Amino acid sequence: MAQSRRLHVGMLAVTNYESDPRVRRQAEALVARGDEVTVLALNSPDRPRYEVLDGVKVVHFRTEKFRGSGGAGYLKLYGDFGLRAAAWMARHPRRYDVVQAHSMPEVLVFCAALQKVVRVPLLLDVHDMTSRLFESKFGESKIVKAVHASETASMAFADEVMTVHEPYAEALRARTKRPVSSVLNSPDEKMFTPSRWREWDPAKEIVFSYHGTIAPRHGLVALVEALQIVRTQLPKARLQVRGGGDGLAAVEARVDELGMRDVVDLPQRMYAVHDMPAQIDEVHIGVAPNQLDVWTADTLPTKILEYAAMGVPSISFRNPVVTRYFPEDSLTYVDPASPRNLADAMLKLARDPEAARKQADRATEVMAELSWSHQKQIYLDVIDRMAGR
């Protein structure tokens, strides 16, 4: 294939495209160099079925994101989206040079079965393992075993596999003979840039932040309870929350129980990726209060990377993946992320702005080595190799 030929890449993603940083960043990277990208995604409120967003063609299926906690709801979501995606791909068997399926679920790659028949290469991008989500929510069960088997089959069906960090890649290599690459969820440094240092006086207003998926395993209730403890000593402390998920109702209920509606800024809408730098620019300290379980034991939260890229000091739960990338002097670790431990860490950083600044500077140095510019090239090389460039 000649280097000058424009590639046509099709992406399948059970997500709200405009707010999914990984899918959007990759699609825009391809478009920026002259390729054509079509993303099949979930329905988004107040958006047309077909649109071009920053050069990317987006098809919003009439499938709504599931916000509950039942396994049947997830299966219905995946099944409905999968049928629509398979029908779309069947109508366009030779349109794409590469098809990329973003998990969850991994079985989404089978929607491109016709492309497989006509030898269009298939890339499976494993953001998170579906079996670990189900095990986290429902414990060991027959459905978890079935999902685990489906993951293995999906990786065997794909031509290559990609994932979000090297520890995940190592685990996946043990399960498949396919090539496995890792591309970090590094924020685009053109958007998430270090801003002016936001000075604060511990005796005055200080704003803590959480953004991302809101689910029980992400510890937002514990963070709200920690804020209540912090406010006994720093009465002007506040919390900004941005994101959505099936845990939002529980967070809202706990905020109301504690009478903290005036100090916890809860999300009123969905925020697109491009909205987040301005939101982060309004805060002083970021927090990733994840509760350790089978799901979070090997995740690297994107929010940590984004806080670090923007020079915001942050507090994080501890797992082997986070500590692999971020040394002790770049984050304030809590182990585990209980309300008391979180409160102690929040008070420690809030009372010593200079130490917080040094920590933030160190985290920004770490991000310079994990920049999207470098990760993007790894991603583009994978696409080019699969397309025969």
Q: State residue 70's pLDDT score.
A: 59
Phi-psi region of 315 (alpha: psi -120 to 50; beta: other; left: phi over 0): beta
DSSP-assigned beta bridge partners for residue 9: 37, 98
Taking the chain (389 residues) in consecutive chunks of 10 residues, what is each chunk's mean pLDDT?
77 95 97 98 91 97 74 83 97 96 96 98 95 79 87 97 96 95 95 89 96 93 98 98 92 97 93 91 97 90 96 97 97 97 98 97 95 96 94
Q: State residue 139's pLDDT score.
A: 75
Q: State residue 1's pLDDT score.
A: 41
**Is 8-186+371-387's fold the same as 206-369's?**
yes
* One-letter identity of residue 376: K
Q: State residue 309's pLDDT score.
A: 96
Question: At the top level of CATH, which class does the domain 206-369 belong to?
Answer: alpha beta
Domain boundaries, the chain: 8-186+371-387, 206-369
Among 210, 173, 73, 43, smallest CA distance to 133 is for 73
Beta 56-60 vs 50-53: how paired, if at all? antiparallel
Q: State residue 73's pLDDT score.
A: 78
DSSP-assigned beta bridge partners for residue 210: 241
User: What fold does the segment set 8-186+371-387 form as a domain?
Assistant: Rossmann fold (3.40.50)
**What is the pTM for the complete model shown?**
0.90
Inter-axis angle of helices 353-369 and 339-351, nearest 10: 100
In sequence order, what E strands does the chain have?
8-13, 36-41, 50-53, 56-60, 98-103, 122-126, 160-163, 180-182, 206-213, 237-244, 264-265, 285-288, 314-317, 332-334
Size of the chain in residues: 389
- Sign of CA pseudo-dihedral 167, 172, 177, 178: negative
Q: State residue 66's pLDDT score.
A: 66
Q: Tokens at residue 376, please?
A: 């993007």
